[in-house]
Amino acid sequence: MFRTAVLSLFLWQAASVASKPCKPKPHSGDVSKCKLAAHNDVHFSAGFNLAGDCVPSTGELKAFMIFVDFSDAEAPSNDPPKNLRDFLVPDAQDWYTKASNGALTLNVTADVSQYYRMPASAASYHWSTGLSSAEHLVYIQDALQAYTANGARPPPPETEVLYLVPTRSAGSYMTRSMAYDGRANTREGTYVARKTVTFGVDPFETWGFKALNHETGHTMCLPDYYPYAAGLDTRYYVGGWSAMGDISGPGPDFFAWDKWRLGWLSDDNVECVAKHGTSEHVLTPLEVKGGTKAVVIAVNGTSAVVAEARVAKGLDSSVCAPGVLLYTVDTTVATGDGPLRVLDANPSTNGCGGDNGELNDATLSLDQGKSLYDVPGWGVRVRVVSQDGGKFKIRVHYS
Ligand SMILES: *[C@@H]1O[C@H](CO)[C@@H](O)[C@H](O)[C@H]1NC(C)=O
Ligand SMILES: *[C@@H]1O[C@H](CO)[C@@H](O)[C@H](O)[C@H]1NC(C)=O
């Protein structure tokens, strides 16, 4: 993927010679102008300090998992709840530990003693045709009714996230996974959890444990990066970058922008450009600890361009075009409408990393494709001037 060390060194030197005529101004160490504030009237605005009822994204996140079955979809005896728990939980917990650089510990306690029988049939919830928030709550409260047995079995206190997992037998009925936005109370009014994730069978069969990471992202108020608009491919807007977009994409690690918002990256990991001029920055790969993970160019109070380095390491081991990924952030755009949009530096290619991988080679690099990108209409130009091992030196021109 990268050239030999000798050649990389040569490129690095060649580039620093070429950069001499232009004296880059140092960027300011103050990142506050780049912390675009969330718009609280926008659902899951991608800005900072959203005033939502989000679960904590650092420290220990306590979750509780229960399993349900139905009169018309009985759990088979050869697929006990422990199978599903082992399929979903350990890898998802590990994924968050890695993605957050140890800042978040997801602690899922699962009641694997039995499938609790729902009071209504699986067919009656008509998930495949979509359900309203009120109907979603009926499902959640039915599960709590089945589980608590009228208060005899209270769920653990301090549960932030409740996971409801149906038997695989209910696959033809429970076709989607959803995160419920409101708090979950039993019908008797006992508070149970801040957020609830109700799994469908197909999502976890298709995406595996990362379905849990995606839905739990919503409990932290992360938006969906795939489009809600009919007719747009799932990979539109961000391609296979971020599990909040295409869960099965080659680069599922969360964007540096989100990691910064969630408290998984510190201000020291971010360089902020908020003034016109030229500056140089060295990005280290998002997937490894330490260094500068994002250069944010804030063009006004609601929009920014972000540059980050993404390589085939860690959670992104399948990345097929390592390089500097550019995307826009707009805090006035709601979930599903493209609050983050990857900028395609190689629009004429077919992409990489499977079907519809158009945006998976959107990166800038000296190894393949382009090393310069002008953001149309934004006055922002980003050039990769050298790269050495996993590090990318970029020059940002903002006019
Ligand atoms: C996870 O939570 C359970 C229940 O609150 C607690 O007993 C356990 O010690 C926690 N595990 C870790 C690793 O913190
Ligand atoms: C901020 O900049 C973006 C990109 O140029 C533009 O689309 C948007 O309208 C601007 N917003 C404001 C409030 O100026």
> DSSP labels for 76-138?
PTTS-HHHHHHHHHHHHHHHHHHHTTTSEEEEEEE--S-PEEPSS-SGGG-GGG---HHHHHH
The preferred substitution site among 39, 297, 299 for testing ligand 2, maximizing ligand atoms within 8 Å of CB, is: 299
Model's pTM, two decimal places? 0.92
**Residues 6 or more apart whose Cβ sits within 8 Å of residue 213:** 92, 95, 96, 99, 243, 247, 252
Q: What is the pLDDT of residue 28?
A: 57
Cβ–ligand 2 distance for 332 under 6 Å, the answer no
Nearest CA to ligand 2 atom 14: 300
Q: Are 395 and 16 in contact (CB under 8 A)?
A: no
Measured from the CB, is residue 59 less than 6 Å from ligand 1? Answer: no
Rounded to whole angstroms, how far apart are CA atoms 314 and 312?
Answer: 7
First-residue to last-residue Cα distance in the chain: 33
- pLDDT value, residue 3: 29
C-alpha separations of 332 from 47, 223, 327, 337, 378 in Å: 9, 12, 15, 10, 17
Instruction: Quote the ligand 1 centre to 161 CA distance (angstroms).
Output: 14
Ligand closest to the CA atom of residue 36: 2
For ligand 1, is residue 107 a contact (CB within 6 Å)? yes
Ranges of the chain with pLDDT below 70: 1-28
Q: Which ligand is nearest to the CA of 109?
A: 1
**d(CA 155, ligand 1 centre) in Å:** 14
Long-range contacts from 370-377, C-beta under 8 angstroms, 24+ separation: 370/345, 370/346, 373/326, 373/343, 373/345, 375/305, 375/326, 375/328, 375/343
Are 184 and 164 within 8 A, CB to CB?
A: no
Q: Give strand ranges (E) for the chain.
A: 59-69, 104-110, 116-117, 161-166, 178-180, 184-185, 191-193, 195-198, 270-273, 277-283, 294-298, 303-310, 323-330, 340-342, 372-375, 380-388, 391-398
3-state helix, strand, coil in the chain (%, to 5): 25, 25, 50
How far away, in angstroms, is 303 Cα from ligand 2 center? Answer: 6
**Tens digit of pLDDT for each residue in 1-22?**
232 233 333 333 333 333 444 4
How far, in Å, is the centroid of ligand 1 from the Cα of 107? 6
Residue nearest to atom 10 of ligand 1 (CA): 107
Q: Which two tokens stand for residue 367?
A: 């190894």
Number of Cβ atoms within 10 Å of the Cβ of 307: 27
